[in-house]
Amino acid sequence: NRCNLGYAFVNFTSAKATWKLYREFHMHQWAIFNSKKICEITYARLQGRRLLEDHFRNARLECDTDNYLPLVFDPPRNGQNFTVTRVIRGQWEAKND
């Protein structure tokens, strides 16, 4: 069906923030898109920022631009700190359509 799964790995800095995101987005459906996909919030197999960065550092992901590669925001964003550095992890390779 040529639809992506759309993953996001979020390393929360507080339990309160984790719960807030879960309540807002778990089982949410975006009506703006022509899709029946539902957002499901679950725990990642790999836990912690360092393990996730190591896992994706040399990953080769099928896409056409850096815009779809994993990002690391540093320092952590707390909803008030808007000055951050984006570090791209992984490498893209052209899709075989």
pLDDT, average across residues 15-41: 85
pLDDT higher than 70, residue 44: yes
List pLDDT tens digits, range 63-97. Answer: 777 777 777 777 776 666 666 565 656 655 555 65
Predicted TM-score (pTM) of this structure? 0.59
- CA count, 13 A, side-chain hemisphere, 18: 9
Which residue has tokens 């896409």?
A: 63
